[in-house]
Amino acid sequence: MVLFILCMNVGITVFPGSNCDRDIKRVVDQTLKTCSRFYWHKKNLPSNVDVVIIPGGFSYGDYLRPGIIASHSPIIKSIKKLAKKKTPILGICNGFQILLESNLLPGTLLKNTTLSFVCKWTNIIVHNVNTPFTNQLKLYQKIPISIANGEGRYYVDSETLTSMKKNDQIVFKYENDSNNSIYNIAGVCNEDMNVVGMMPHPERAAEYEINPIDNKPSLSIFASILNQFNIEN
Amino acid sequence: MTLTKNELSYIINRIHRDMTSTESHILNAEWSEHCSYKSSKQHLKPLQTYNLTSIVGHDSGIIEVGDGYVITAHIESHNHPSSIEPFGGASTGIGGVVRDILSSGTRPIALLDGLRFGNVENANTKWIFKNVVSGISHYGNCIGVPTIGGELEFDECYNDYALVDVMCIGLGKKKSLIKNRAKSGDLVILLGNFTGMDGIGGSQFASDSLRSQDDTTSAIQIPNPFIKKLIIEVIMELVNHNYIKAMKDLGGGGLSCAISEIAESLSIGITVDVDKIHTKQKMTPEEIMTSESQERMLLIIDKKKLQKIHQICKKFDLLYSIIGHVTWEKKIIVANKYHVVANLPIDLVVHPPLIDRESSIPRYIMKLKKEKKYSFSYSDLTKIFAKLIVSPNLANKNWVYNQYDYEVGLRTVVKPGYDAAVLKLDNKKYLSVSMDGNPKHCYLDPYYGTLGCFDEACRNIICSGSKLIGMVNHLQFGNPENKEIFWSFLKSLYGLIDYSKNFHIPCIGGKVSFYNETAHGQIKPSPVISMIGISDHPFNTLQIQNNDNLVIIGETKDELGGSEYFYQIFDSYAGKCPQVDFKASKLHMMVVTKLLKNSLVNSITDCSKGGIAMAISKLCMLNKIGCIVNVDQIPSTLKLQIDKILFSESHSRYIMAVPDNKLTKIISILRSNNVIFNLIGKFNTDKLIFKHSNNEIIKINIHTLYKKWMSTINELMI
């Protein structure tokens, strides 16, 4: 059966103000060599989409609150349906903010402690290798990765944090530079583990020329999707 | 209103009647120095040397980079607004330069910013600096264009003021460039933001000294990066479908300027119905025609394409209005419901009588030729060295560039903080970009100062392993009505022209900005030069190995006038301004390119601000390795005092790390080309040690120095 899937259908959502949509497409199509398509936010996603990636950027110019206006777009309704069907969904940076505002993931993101935008390279550690986006990584593997955000400080109440730990919902933690995120959290998933949100940008770390340290771990995040569908990279 | 008596009578003579109020507003905007270049235009002609790879006739400079691709480049400043409202001023500066790149039909792929502020200890400087950086960060990040480089300098002459130069680079296909053709009957469309009361008279505001801050609020524009991002995507879709016949951005002078300039360049006329324009509030025709509201583009389209364009705008919920049409008669006609409010010949609007400004050598120049006497002792050297390397002008600028999203777009191969930023293009080639200025040198000698900036910008590109392909510049001066200022402007311009011709580097774009002065007086002459290079393989400068050798190319001369050393340690500029020897400079560029091409070097940088001391420290700090340097081996003019050898800012010098097994080859290449060079040290320690007659005159731990160098500006800005 596996052999019939020659090319996956990776859906990349595009909102007004999405900035990393084309970057993700390049990594999926050229580096990972599979197929992706853009889906404009005004329409529903087709139900045959295999994976959904919500890219970073400034949807609606971050007006009101990052991700909040986008979370009311028509496309979010179909994303919620796909989430229930256990379709793998990854939100990166602003995509993570959108997933939080859509109540598909627990917690919230606060303004950075420096009160300014921060763009730099840092390391994150994998804490859950059972999601569709981490199954090709080793537990506690280090990932050199780029962060770029103004409101990237993850916060959640202690009760929810306890249950998240119990359910293995903490996917990535910062190695040391945590921007005061609670429990050093850099990425989380839902209880079903099919919806993952992360603040750092794996697409910026997946190519060797762009990543000054090591691009393989970040590329494994994308390669995990293929593995999920048993496709050889 | 800024039209002079002579200009008024010139206009009346041309149109044989009094101007209407709208006409007067249009001409005041378009004839401002900012829009018309009436003081500088006649002097700029020799600079327009184009070579085969550049394409003429667009708002931005265009260079072909092979495989059907072109890159576009443009530079602008937003100085007056940034001094009063730094956040919005800097933001709109970016917005403006991005529109110029879009106008050619190319996608903006990178931004650079050259920032100059007053004494960083002043509270007001900190406020301006902090907010300019957040303005750039806010706008650039939001539109998804990476800010990959630039420069930062503090100098008292910019107290209560700011120079905010922004450069944008675009990438596109040659065949998709906007053709800029139009015929009678084509529609004129205004796309994007509402026209409002913000920024009215902005170009006149920028064409006057900033002596009082009353009544200037409405001259400052309001940025909206979200709408700009939508405009970028809409324009890119329209370009891909070839729906646009001609395009112009709305910047200084607003609609008046955009309409008259596009009409002039296409040899057409345009009739505008002001009632059709989507406005924020009720406005008079005068206000509509001169409003500098941001995030607007003017498009000329074929009637038949309107429906398709409508659909694309609707997809992005972007507003547009059909504001007029193209006519064959070369006139700008503005009408509202009731009557025609302006009817002017295009050439009158676009070509004001040029002004032949007088110039004379500034009196201060002679006084600054002689160095101030100072005392110096070997025992102070380590202290002086440590102070200088971490001083605000030489310190690492991570506090600034970490606020910019420099990665978006997946192109940034060499990140900010190195000699030149390097971008990956779509045709597997790499673009290097640098930006340099040196107002202290230009103050002492505007001609050699400008040559020096040009040379430094080139050296930075050469060090990244690239070939020089084009230059854009921005000349910023005080009041051109002042003869001494105008003399400096001319000298600086001659510097640009001479260098450009001698090195066959095409000047693909530039701007002139006058009236940069405050109640404290004029700014120093501040030309900023940005150089663009291209390569097949970018050079990675972070490869120093233990036991590598330190080699210097070039001669160190007694040229400490305007040096960071004199300025930071002795609070003086006076002395000899470094000169550029064209022959040596060319030879060194050729040889360095050869060495990098043959992979003979592990790391390289050029000597500029802070001299050899700074260049070696930078290599050591970035590679996190120390070095023992024998100062006596540094090739220099006879009997040069040690501090001068270390801190002189002579041009055309490079320092590099060379592995043992490649040393003989390098020496033979350098010898056979008659290059002045020497082996001056070894990277084999964690300390940076400078030796003179076998005494350690400077000794400093490289990790301690690095920490301080990285944190200077952070600590200042807490």
End-to-end C-alpha distance for chain B, whole angstroms = 43
Q: Distance between CA atoms of B23 and B334, rounded to whole angstroms?
A: 9
Is the distance from CB of A226 to CB of A209 less than 8 angstroms? no
pLDDT over 90 (residue B81): no
* pLDDT class of B218 with cuts at 50, 70, 90: low
Residues 129-168 of B with CB under 8 A from A: 134, 137-138, 141-144
Active site residue A7: no
Judge whether A201 is closer than 8 Å to chain B, CB to CB: yes
Query: Which residue is catalytic, options A20, A93, A151, A189?
Result: A93
On whether the CB atoms of residues A124 and A173 are closer than 8 A, the answer is yes
Contact residues on chain A for B404, CB-CB shorter than 8 A: 117, 119
Q: Which two tokens stand for residue B421?
A: 């930023």
- Residue A144: pLDDT over 50: yes
- Which residue, A110, A141, A117, A109, is CA-closest to A128? A141
pLDDT digits (tens, 9 = 90+) for A62-121: 999 999 999 999 999 999 999 999 999 999 999 999 999 999 999 999 999 989 999 999
Q: Which residue of A has its CA nearest to B406?
A: A119
| Interchain proximity A58–B316, CB inside 8 Å | no
What pLDDT does residue B36 have?
A: 86
Among the partner-chain residues B134, B225, B229, the one whose CB lies closest to the CB of A116 is B134
pLDDT for the residue B219: 65
| pLDDT > 90: percent of chain B | 84
Are the Cβ atoms of B407 and A201 closer than 8 angstroms? Answer: yes
Residue B46 contacts A where some CB pair is shorter than 8 Å? no
* Distance of residue B404 Cα from the nearest chain A Cα, in angstroms: 6
Residue A213 in contact with partner chain B when CB distance is under 8 A = no
Q: Which of A2-11, B80-89, B428-437 has the lowest mean pLDDT?
A: A2-11
Residues B463-491, mean pLDDT to the nearest whole number:
95
Q: To 5 degrees, how large is the angle CA B144–CA B147–CA B426?
A: 70
* Residue B55 scores a pLDDT above 70: no
Catalytic status, residue A127: no
CA distance B405 to chain A (A): 6
Residue B51 has pLDDT above 50, yes or no: no
Residues of B in contact with A120 (CB under 8 A): 402
Does any CB of chain A come closer than 8 Å to the CB of residue B229?
yes
Whether residue A26 lies within 8 A of chain B, CB to CB, comes out as yes
CB A122 within 8 A of CB A200: yes
pLDDT of residue B42: 85
**CA–CA dist B479, B521 (Å, integer):** 10
Contact B260, B342 (CB under 8 A): no
pLDDT at B147 over 90: yes
Contact B424 A42 (CB under 8 A): no
Chain B residues within an 8 Å CB radius of A150: 141
Nearest CA in chain B to A19: B144
Minimum distance, in Å, between the CA of residue B145 and any CA atom of chain A: 8
A58 touches B at CB < 8 Å: yes
pLDDT for residue B630: 97
Q: Does B226 contact A17 at a Cβ distance shorter than 8 Å? A: yes
Q: Is the pLDDT of residue B559 over 50?
A: yes
* pLDDT of residue B242 exceeding 50: yes
| Dist CA B136 CA B86 (whole Å) | 10
pTM recorded for the entire structure: 0.94
Question: How far apart are the CA of A60 and the nearest CA of chain B, in angstroms?
Answer: 7
Alpha-carbon gap, residue A49 to A55, rounded angstroms:
16
Measured in angstroms, the CA of A29 and the nearest CA of chain B are apart by 14
pLDDT at B474: 94
Q: Using one digit for the tens of pLDDT, what is the confidence trace for B348-392?
A: 999 999 999 999 999 999 999 888 888 888 889 999 999 999 999
Q: Are B22 and B285 in contact (CB under 8 A)?
A: yes
Report yes or no for ipTM above 0.85: yes
pLDDT at B199: 72
Rounded Cα gap, residues B191 and B250, in angstroms: 10
A199 SS3 class: coil
Partner B contacted by A208 (CB < 8 A): no
A72 is catalytic: no
Q: What is the mean pLDDT of residues B130-157?
A: 96
Does residue A233 surpass a pLDDT of 80? no
Give the minimum alpha-carbon distance from A11 to chain B in angstroms, rounded to a whole number.
Answer: 19
Distance CA A91, CA A54 (A): 5
Q: Residues B599-620: what's their mean pLDDT?
A: 96
Give 3-state DSSP helix, strand, coil % of chain B, rounded to 5: 40, 25, 35
Nearest beta carbon to residue A119 from set B224, B407, B413: B407
Q: B141 is written with which tokens?
A: 């990040």
Q: Cβ of A58 and B415 within 8 Å?
A: no
Q: Which pLDDT value is given to residue B470?
A: 94
Nearest CA in chain A to B409: A23
Tell me: pLDDT of B407 over 80. yes
Which range, of B207-216, B430-439, B491-500, averages the lowest pLDDT?
Answer: B207-216
CB contacts, 8 Å: A207 with chain B:
410
Contacts of B317 in chain A (CB under 8 A): 16
Instruction: Read off the pLDDT band of A3 (50, 70, 90).
Output: very low
Which chain B residues are within 8 Å of A26, Cβ to Cβ?
Answer: 410
Query: Average of pLDDT values for B43-60?
Result: 66
DSSP code string of B271-320:
EEEGGGS-BSS---HHHHHH---SSEEEEEE-GGGHHHHHHHHHHTT--E
Q: How is residue B418 written in tokens?
A: 């190195």
CA distance B609 to B607: 7
Calculate mean pLDDT across residues B246-273: 93
